[in-house]
């Protein structure tokens, strides 16, 4: 009996240790993007909104300021798996994907393929064949290219009544289930945009029914709040880290207890006032909390808890309430209990958030420079009018020079946004509130 107990105990210890190692390993999974990656975000008008792709770029820049990752948005309104007005699928892939030599491609199609009508077997069959062709073409162009298949974002049958029995989103869910199986059969990544956005719409509808309708105002194209939820789903699938930094200070003992993702120096006190400096390795996400759809999406989801944690915890304080200043700017007033429990600085108007929003502004500038040219050229290159083709041929040299000039400008902007994303040392002062 004694020997049996010892064996059981050892097995139990082994199981606990193994489980602990497994959990630790899962938590430590690295972010999917690497230095030098080139990401092409491919899709229809929802991708062409340049929101979830822009947010993913901004979030990657601010969370991983040392990584050099290039992004191209290849969304075209009304596109399907066979292409659209900007060109048939093979032209689209060659011009808008393969030309950028991507290391990773994300694909989101389906909204237009289903025809915004009840399920149609012929449309579904065409979708399957067209999607398979896209994946085969990407593999043929470069087998090393990583592909992330995105299940179609929803058609809003939540805040608006369905147009027919069962609703169109049920059709998109069926398309998404097929894509999930297709991805598994090919060993590819898949991301579900539909489920988290629908869940958010339900919760938002219970909080503010009228404002909830603006989350997808035309039932197809998400507002910034909807794109925030989609971005979180994409980044979470790529092991985007939840924590920016976690700092804990014992004011009574005058020591730093924890400084994950940050270097804390010059901690000291003058009477009840506490000062220190902190250099974090990343910035908070550049989220525009003033946008009403973003504010509602945050209330209706776990997005902040999932990917935007910049925690400051201070114990051993004597006064009941304190004011926190960062770089001499008042960030807020907090009770002793709030500081002891931990405050998420990422949700506050800190200098760090201000810096992150500055990075976002440069990303917007970058997208405007490249986007205008591509939006103009795509329809002209496929225009059947012989006069247009003649004009383009005559202008070939000038267009080539313009393309080169824009490429140089874009490179300069990319360097600016990467420089702007580098964190700097911040000065913290905590004083008793009057």
Q: CATH number of the domain that 220 lies in?
A: 3.40.50.1110
Range of weakest confidence among 125-134, 228-237, 250-259, 379-388: 379-388
The structure's pTM equals 0.86
Which whole number is the average pLDDT over 198-202?
Answer: 98
Whether 400 is in a domain gets the answer yes
Q: Give 315's contacts (C-beta < 8 A, 6+ positions apart).
A: 248, 249, 250, 251, 252, 257, 339, 340
Domain containing 213 equals: 32-237
Over pLDDT 90: what percentage of the chain?
Answer: 79
For residue 370, pLDDT over 90 is answered with: no
Tell me the mean pLDDT in the region 164-169.
Answer: 97
Residue 18 lies in a domain: no
- The verdict on 272 and 147 lying in the same domain is no
How many whole angstroms from its chain centre is CA 55? 5
What number is the average pLDDT over the span 80-88?
94
How far is residue 59's CA from residue 68's CA, in Å, rounded to a whole number?
Answer: 13
| Residue 384 pLDDT exceeds 90 | no
Q: Of 237, 265, 289, at which residue does a domain stop?
A: 237
* Residue 7 maps to a domain: no
- Strand-pairing partners, residue 36, are none
Identify whether residues 93 and 186 lie together within a single domain.
yes
User: Has residue 24 got a pLDDT over 60?
Assistant: no
Q: Specify whether 191 is located in the same domain as 257.
A: no
| 271 and 397 inside one domain | yes
Q: Is pLDDT above 60 for 263? A: yes
So what's the pLDDT on residue 363? 85
| Confidence grade of residue 411 (pLDDT, cut at 50, 70, 90) | low
> Are 37 and 183 contained in the same domain?
yes
- Spatial CA neighbour of 232 closest among 76, 419, 63, 348: 63
Do 267 and 295 have their domain in common?
Answer: yes
121 in the same domain as 89: yes
Whether 239 has a pLDDT exceeding 90, the answer reads yes
> What's the total number of domains in the chain?
2
| Residue 217 within any structural domain of the chain | yes
Determine, yes or no, domain membership for 27: no
Single out the residue of 264, 420, 415, 404 nearest to residue 354, CA to CA.
420
Residues 251 and 283 in one domain: yes
In a domain, 300, yes or no: yes
- Give a yes or no: residue 19 inside a domain: no
Residue ending a domain, choose from 191, 215, 237: 237
Co-location of 204 and 258 in the same domain: no
Tokens of 181: 């199986």
Residue 40's DSSP bridge partners are 72, 105
Which pLDDT band, with edges at 50, 70 and 90, does 396 fall under? low
- Angle at which helices 194-207 and 292-299 cross, to 10°: 100
Residue 394 half-sphere exposure toward CB, CA atoms < 13 A? 6
301 within a domain of the structure (yes/no): yes
């Amino acid at each position: 009996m004694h020997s049996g107990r010892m064996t059981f105990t050892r097995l139990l210890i082994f199981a606990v240790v193994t489980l602990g190692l497994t959990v630790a390993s899962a938590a430590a999974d690295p972010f999917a993007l690497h230095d030098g990656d080139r990401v092409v975000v491919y899709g229809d008008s929802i991708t062409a909104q340049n929101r979830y792709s822009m947010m993913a770029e901004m979030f990657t820049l601010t969370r991983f300021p040392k990584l050099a990752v290039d992004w191209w948005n290849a969304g075209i309104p009304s596109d399907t798996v066979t292409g659209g007005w900007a060109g048939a699928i093979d032209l689209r892939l060659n011009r808008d994907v393969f030309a950028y030599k991507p290391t990773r491609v994300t694909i989101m199609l389906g909204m237009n393929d289903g025809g915004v009508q009840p399920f149609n077997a012929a449309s579904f069959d065409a979708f399957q064949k067209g999607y398979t062709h896209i994946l085969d073409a990407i593999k043929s162009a470069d087998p090393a290219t990583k592909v992330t298949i995105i299940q179609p974002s929803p058609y809003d049958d939540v805040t608006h009544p369905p147009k027919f029995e069962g609703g169109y989103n049920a059709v998109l869910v069926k398309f998404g289930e097929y894509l999930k199986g297709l991805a598994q059969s090919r060993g590819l990544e898949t991301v579900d945009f539909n489920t988290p956005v629908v869940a958010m719409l339900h919760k938002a509808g219970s909080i503010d029914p009228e404002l909830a309708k603006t989350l997808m105002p035309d039932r197809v194209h998400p507002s910034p709040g909807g794109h925030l939820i989609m971005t979180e789903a994409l980044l979470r699938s790529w092991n985007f880290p939840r924590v920016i930094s976690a700092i804990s200070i014992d004011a009574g003992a005058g020591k730093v207890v924890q400084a994950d993702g940050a270097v804390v120096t010059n901690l000291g006190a003058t009477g009840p006032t506490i000062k220190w400096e902190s250099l974090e390795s990343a910035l908070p996400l550049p989220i525009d909390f003033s946008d009403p759809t973003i504010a509602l999406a945050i209330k209706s989801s776990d997005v902040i808890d999932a990917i935007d944690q910049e925690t400051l915890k201070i114990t051993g304080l004597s006064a009941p309430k304190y004011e926190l200043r960062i770089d001499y700017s008042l960030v807020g007033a907090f009770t002793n209990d709030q500081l002891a429990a931990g405050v998420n600085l990422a949700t506050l108007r800190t200098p760090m958030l201000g810096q992150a929003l500055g990075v976002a502004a440069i990303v917007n500038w970058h997208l405007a420079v490249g986007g205008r040219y591509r939006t103009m050229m795509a329809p002209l290159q496929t225009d059947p009018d012989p006069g247009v083709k003649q004009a383009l041929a005559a202008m070939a040299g000038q267009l080539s020079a313009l393309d080169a000039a824009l490429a140089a400008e874009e490179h300069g902007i990319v360097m600016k946004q990467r420089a702007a994303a580098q964190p700097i040392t911040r000065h913290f002062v905590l004083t008793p509130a009057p």
